[in-house]
Each structure stands twice: as structure tokens, then as C-alpha cells.
């Protein structure tokens, strides 16, 4: 599992062998951290909104992308792509407000916005006289 954590240990712990062994394809992800949120992008070519499942259980987030592969009525001659569905799991840091997750998918890239709770957002404090 990939850890998304608001801590010093930025390398995180990664173990996606489980998803791989269960017959899924592990999508490539990019994660950036802004002051308000984490933004996660996952490459899931061929996955539509209907084929996508984003599930949250406690602090574990899983993304699953089902896809149709092949060309109806045509025979494969040569194949490099994987016919497997996508799956990857993440452990979310407690600083993430799990009630406010949002997801969009566009041209095979899933974008998840994981906002931080109000408590951990940096705040500017006005100095009053």
C-alpha cells in the first residue's frame, strides 16, 4: 500500500504486490501536496466513469478501474497492453478530511482531491493592534 501522509517520512511505505498478485494492474500515480490538499492522479486508460470505483474504508482508500479491452469482432495480432483491471490501495494520513474527497476522470486519468482538515491547514494570523 502507498501511504499518503502529512509527515516527515515522505518516501512512504509502498507495497503493491498484493493488488498485483490478485490479478490487477497497478496504475502509475503522481501525488502532489499543496497547502490545502493532496492531489492524486492515476493513469487508468480505457476506464470510464461507469467502470470506476473509489472506495473508502476507515483510512484505507482503494481505486478500482474496470475496462473493456480488445476490439469487438477483431482478432488480436500483437498485444502489449494488459487486459487486467486496475487496482491500487492507499493509506490516508489522519490529516485528510475523508468526508470531502472528490474524484474526476478525464482521458483515462483519475484525479482525486484529498483535502486536509481545517486543523492542519496553515493559517495566517492577523496581528491586531
Partner 1 sequence: MKLIRRQNADLWNWSPVDQLSTLREEINRLFDSPFGELTRRMELFNGWAPPLDLYEDKDNLVVKAELPGMKREEIEISVHDGTLTISGERKYEEKSQDAEPYRSERFFGRFHRTLALTKPVQPDKAKATYKDGILTVVLPKTEEAKPKQIQVNVS
The H or E element containing residue 18 is helix 17-21
Q: Is 62 in the site for partner 1 (CB under 8 A)?
A: no
Residue with smaller CB distance to partner 1, 30 or 102: 30
The H or E element containing residue 35 is none
Q: Is 120 in the site for partner 1 (CB under 8 A)?
A: no
What grid cell was written down for 72?
469487438
x/- mask, partner 1, residues 26-55, rule CB under 8 A, reads x-xxxxxxxx--xx-x-xxxxxx-------
Contact (CB, 8 A) for 85 and 24: yes
Give ∠ CA 99-30-102 in degrees, rounded to 5.
Answer: 20
Stretch that binds partner 1, among 7-15, 55-63, 96-104 (CB under 8 A): 7-15
Which residue, among 41, 17, 43, 20, has the nearest Cα to 31 in the 3D structure? 41
Residue with smaller CB distance to partner 1, 14 or 126: 14
Calpha distance 8→5 (Å, rounded): 8
Q: Is 82 in the site for partner 1 (CB under 8 A)?
A: yes
Footprint on this chain of partner 1 (rule: CB under 8 A): 2, 4, 9-12, 14, 16-17, 20-21, 26, 28-35, 38-39, 41, 43-48, 70-71, 73-82, 106-109
Amino acid at each position: 500500500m502507498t501511504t499518503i501522509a502529512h509527515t516527515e517520512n515522505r518516501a512512504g511505505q509502498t507495497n503493491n504486490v498484493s493488488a498485483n498478485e490478485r490479478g490487477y494492474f497497478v496504475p502509475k500515480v503522481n501525488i502532489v501536496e499543496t497547502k490545502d490538499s493532496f492531489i492524486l492522479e492515476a493513469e487508468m486508460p480505457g476506464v470510464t466513469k461507469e467502470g470506476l470505483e473509489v472506495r473508502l474504508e476507515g483510512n484505507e482508500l482503494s481505486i478500482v478501474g474496470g475496462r473493456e479491452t480488445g476490439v469487438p469482432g477483431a482478432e488480436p495480432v500483437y498485444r502489449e497492453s494488459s487486459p487486467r483491471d486496475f487496482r491500487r490501495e492507499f493509506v490516508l494520513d489522519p490529516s485528510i478530511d475523508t468526508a470531502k474527497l472528490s474524484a474526476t476522470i478525464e482521458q483515462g486519468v483519475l484525479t482525486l482531491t484529498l483535502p486536509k482538515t481545517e486543523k492542519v491547514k496553515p493559517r495566517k494570523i492577523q496581528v491586531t493592534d
